[in-house]
Amino acid sequence: MRFVRDAMVRDIIALAPDTAIDAISQLFSLNCISAAPVIDQTGRVLGIVSQTDLLDAERPRSDAQGQHFYYRVWRGEIRAVGIVCGEPPKQTGVAHDVMSAPILTISADATVEDASRKMLDDHVHRLFVLESGRVTGLISALDCLRSFVKDAAPARSPREAS
């Protein structure tokens, strides 16, 4: 049996509420991610932006141009601020305009099976792991599958490993 803490990703890209939609699209593409939490300056979670949120043309957006920065979060602490290219934005709107809230979460002490079941029941592809209101990790459907494969793999003896 594996726990969420064993399968989750601990290094996360997070967005500020005023991160420009163009910057978010670039971040997702450059980092091969499909969603990111929106956090305030103290690391508290406000919501989530996913690819689907960016593609929803019907969602109202403000006239804000937004900033081209993001956070790197490691185990709940903001470790760095990054800048996405400084090109002028092509569209208006910011993370706060398109984010979904509240986000779906799970405890690091839950089992991977519990995480999988929750994702299936809630029709989502990822859950954020929170501690004291701060994101400390993320577990995706792919992380769960990887964990199941590891559990199903036959144990190899030291002789077979060489």
Complete domains list, the chain, with CATH: 4-153 (3.10.580.10)
Containing 99, the helix (H) or strand (E) segment is none
Q: What is the pLDDT of residue 126?
A: 92
Do residues 126 and 28 make contact, with C-beta atoms less than 8 angstroms apart?
no
Q: What is the pLDDT of residue 58?
A: 66
Q: What is the pLDDT of residue 46?
A: 92
Q: What is the pLDDT of residue 157?
A: 56
Q: What is the pLDDT of residue 86?
A: 60
- In whole angstroms, what is the distance from residue 21 CA to residue 91 CA? 7
Q: What is the amino acid identity at position 43?
A: G
* Peptide bond preceding 102 in cis form (omega within 30 of 0): yes
- In whole angstroms, what is the distance from residue 78 CA to residue 74 CA? 6
Q: What is the pLDDT of residue 44?
A: 87
Segment-wise mean pLDDT, segments of 10 residues, the chain, 162 residues: 92 91 89 92 90 78 71 73 65 86 92 96 93 88 90 64 54
Closest CA to 140 of 108, 104, 116, 110: 116
Q: What is the pLDDT of residue 2?
A: 92
